[in-house]
A and B are shown apart, each in its own frame.
Chain A
Amino acid sequence: MTMIKMALRSLIGNGLKTWLNVFVLSFTFVLIIFMQGLLEGWNRQAVTDTVTWEIAGGQYWSQKYDPYDPFSIDSSAAVVPSSFRKEYDAHDIEPVLYAKGTIYPGGRMQGVLLKGIRPDQHLLALPTYLLKADGAEIPVIMGAHMAKQANLKVNDLVTLRWRDVNGTFEAVDIRVAGIFRTSVPTVDIGQIWLPLDELQKMTLQPNACTILITKPEIPIQQLSAWPFKDQTELTKQTAAMIQAKSKGYNVFYFIFLSMALIAIFDTQTLSIFRRQREIGTLVALGMTQKQVVSLFTLEGTMNALLAILVGTIWGLPIFVAFAVNGIHIPMDVSSFGVPMADKMFPYFTLKLVAGTISFIMVITALVSYWPAHKIARMKPTDAIRGKAL
């Protein structure tokens, strides 16, 4: 207890130097927790949005479907298995047919992935009810990013060219029945959604689909021709991408933490040099050198404790404000390829906060011990004379 009092008194006695160190360290604390919270929030939001817009309870993929081979997409469909008939009729399973096409907005040529879906589906957040629109042209919906890329607006007509299953070219005009905003680029970029029965007719593939999307509670069927992909597998890539971004942020953490720790190290080194007489006196008064080392280490580590306190005072209101109101992303991030909403909500877990605090405490203690361990090699007599170092 005495040691803590001595360390604290000495630390406060350092005045502005201490508070500068504490502020820099508190800034690092707050920044690391905030950034990690932001990534955690992004991850959760990305998974939730992907489930809402694209995955639902999971997907069955036609055995021939390979998302990494765009050239084989046209021949990847298969007839919906009869074992799904009940779920199919009840809309507990939604077939989606993929085909490649080309649109010609304003005389430009643009490759698109056509996705046929039943207009009355309710598993995904896509506004497919707009596909029920009557008219001479086939109604289609597309994401805001796709519409921007193609320079298309609602009710615009554009020529669509595709090949049927035999390879014969076909082309018609389609009408943009709706444009939706989504944070999930995999249902937006380079894609056009149209009624399933139309796409089946267009490609001469009656009753065929490429994937089957299931309702979450539906029991999974093990079919060799239709392997099942669960939510974890389907969001694996998004999680990996965010993980990779998280690693990228480690560089910033390292820089900020290094700044704070160099300041503490520098203060400790200077302090030990200047306070040689005090160290010698303490040893002369009966403290062991080990106790003196502990005192100085504690003094350095207390920087981190004070930083936690200061960081809590100014950082907590910021955390709460952002966690509640979210952070508006001031640019169009839909082309990044990772699900990212316009507003991001950081998510702070106890594990994250406790983990960051423990990590910084241990690092600060090590940095404080490093200059202090020289005291153990000091001769008390030289120290009293101020000539030990």
Chain B
Amino acid sequence: MNSFKIGILLFLVLATSYAQNYPTGKSILDKVDKNMSAKTRVMTASMEVGTERTKRTMVSKIYGEGDHKAYTEYLAPAREKGTKMLKLDNQLWIYSPTTDRTVQISGHMLRQSVMGSDMSYEDMMNDKPLLEQYQADVTGTETIDGANCWVVTLTAIIPDANYFTRKMWVDSERFIPLKEDLFAKSGKLLKRITFSNVQKVQGRWFPLSFVYKDMLKDGPGTKLTIQEIQLDTQIPASVFNLGNLK
């Protein structure tokens, strides 16, 4: 009996010491946030929206300040060119050059898909640091594309997080997520994001290519490729102004 107890104790000690080899989830998220979050960002990106039959590519220039202000101007294709969107807090305005009108869209529109893609406006514009939204636990290690990753499980600590749990594969050297699964409360996998083309951007690692895939539907998903990016740059206040839409 005594040897059984000692065995259990030994197992617990070993398990604890093994777990202690993992960095804390908080420290990983902190490093991820330092790489991925920025006070401001200006980028030119192309978005490839694929369905089973067709593929559309849109190019846009995006200005963002925190997750409260965002301004997007579509540069291509010709049909979308000149379309501008301004998001201030929970309000969204869209300017369409074909009608030369600016329309204010309900805040609920932010939950809708961007131009028929697998991404919602919220997904696109949400830049709130993960640590403010989730508690992180490191649950293991895995290798993705030759890179050793910490597997981090995130559980929402705020009631209005879009996804209750997330599972993130974080590169253990560069502290960049290489893959992320987004789950519903029930545990059903909803979306998968894969990150690639990790480059040094202004001294930090940043993935320049993302693939968003709605896991409940068929299709290749939406590929976002960042062509140019500037982080923590000064954005003139006039950019986030309604007058900038026309």
Contacts and interface: CB of A to CB of B under 8 A. Distances in A.
Q: Do A and B assemble together? A: yes
Interface stretch (A104-112, A237-245, A284-292, A310-318): A104-112
Interface in A156-179: 159, 161, 163-164, 166-172
Contacts of B219: 107
B106 A108 contact: no
Contacts of A102: 216
B185 A168 contact: yes
B186 A172 contact: yes
Contacts of B161: 168
B156 A69 contact: no
A92 interface: no
The size class of the interface chain A forms with chain B is 20 to 34
Most chain B CB within a 10 A radius of its CB, from A75, A102, A166: A166
B206 interface: no
A169 B164 contact: yes
A388 to B, nearest CB: 66
A136 to B, nearest CB: 12
Interface residues of B, number: 26
B186 A104 contact: no
Given A163-B111, A168-B160, A109 B185 contact: no
A72 interface: yes
Contacts of B214: 109
B163 interface: yes
Interface string B172-214: 0000000000101110101000000000000000000000001
Interface in A254-272: none
Contacts of B160: 166-168
A166 B111 CA distance: 12
Interface in B201-240: 214, 216-219
Contact of A167 (B105, B111, B182): B111
Contacts of A167: 111, 122, 160, 162
Given A69-B106, A72-B108, A159-B188, A169 B218 contact: no
B50 to A, nearest CB: 13
A170 B216 contact: no
A168 B162 contact: yes
B185 A161 contact: no
A104 B109 contact: no
Interface in A107-129: 107-109
A109 B217 contact: yes
B106 A71 contact: yes
Nearest to B161: A168
A171 B159 contact: no
18 contacts: A71-B111, A72-B106, A72-B108, A107-B217, A109-B214, A163-B111, A164-B185, A167-B122, A167-B160, A167-B162, A168-B163, A168-B185, A169-B184, A171-B184, A171-B186, A171-B188, A171-B190, A172-B184
Across the A-B interface, give the 9 residue pairs with the lowest CB-CB distance, nearest first: A107-B218, A71-B108, A171-B184, A71-B106, A171-B188, A104-B216, A166-B160, A166-B159, A109-B217
Interface of B: 105-109, 111-112, 122, 156, 159-164, 182, 184-186, 188, 190, 214, 216-219
